[in-house]
Chains A and B, each alone.
Chain A
Amino acid sequence: MEGERGTMEASQKRVRETMNRERPRTNEEWLADLGTQETRAEALADLREYLLKAVYVYLDRYREDLFDLSRSELEQMAEDFAQDALLQVLDKLETFRGESKFTTWAYRFVINEAAAELRLHRWRTLSTEAVIGEGEEVSLLSFLSDAEAADPEQTVARTEILVVMQRVIEEDLTRRQRVALVSIKLRGVPVVEVAERLDTTPNTIYKLIYDARKKLKDGLERRHYSQADVLAIFGEE
């Protein structure tokens, strides 16, 4: 790990040195330089360095998740993220309306790339059944490991709420809503992984989870459980 840290710090230093050669471009200068043949190559190289720097900052936060990658694999990963994001930035350049700083606008592409790949990296070796457990019966009680309270009456009250929620999950949710909810909320699977396994987009998964949340909220409120009631029963002081 120390070796990897050294490499990433060296790369970050290299990036900083490159960025220190010139004063920062304004938004207008970025657009002009990227759109002019004579200045395009240099602007692309500079933008790539900004993106690379953003990737290294991001990867540094998830160092523990990447322990199985060698130094060269990490560097290659960062270079690939920066390169892929650069292509996306160029592809979306016409949609930049100057409402934010250009580099901030560009960072989201490379962070999105890195975030998706990191989540997939951790789950890639598992089968679809192991990840999203399709066809498996859902028991909220089995997922909530410490639902049993010291007070038997409170345990009964907790069980009643879990039964209400379980009934909503089983009877009111569609199959896709149920799979998304159980995978993400109960199994802790990342959204991007569930999206890939269900052959859809993370945005669609968010909408499935949103609909599931709405139905759970309606189900609890229909039975006159307020948020304060539920939280109190589950031990919030």
Chain B
Amino acid sequence: MKLESFRQWIRQIYATRDDELDCDAVFDLIPRYVDKEIAGEDPTIDFPQVEHHLKQCSRCRDIYVGVLEAAKLEEKEEAERAASPSLQL
């Protein structure tokens, strides 16, 4: 473990809270968190505990990023389709 990784671990240790969500709860909230982000809103306002969990849990963060990337691509394709009506034929 390198020093920066250790310092990151220390930050995670001190950030530990009594009211943390577990992975199952976050898994259920990720779609709403991602939709907020896609809509250009700040998801951390409505879901601060999700944000906290994503900082602590690399596995959930990986799933969140994967869902976000897929949703962004879908959004982009829908926008392109809307801008090019002929593609809908």
Contacts and interface: CB of A to CB of B under 8 A. Distances in A.
Interface of A: 16, 19-20, 22-24, 50, 53-54, 57-58, 61, 99-101, 103-105, 107-108, 111-112, 114-115, 119, 143-147, 185-186, 190-192, 202-203, 206-207, 210, 213-214, 216-217, 220, 227, 230-231, 234-236
A23 B81 contact: yes
Classify the secondary structure of B's interface with A: helix
A161 to B, nearest CB: 9
Interface of B: 1-3, 6-7, 9-14, 16, 20, 22-24, 27, 30-32, 34-35, 38, 56-59, 62-63, 65-67, 69-71, 73-74, 77-78, 81, 87-88
A182 to B, nearest CB: 11
A234 B66 contact: no
Q: Could you say which of A103, A147, A203, A235 has the most chain B C-beta atoms within 10 Å of its C-beta?
A: A203
Given A53-B73, A115-B63, A236-B7, A213 B12 contact: yes
A217 B24 CA distance: 24
A107 B32 contact: no
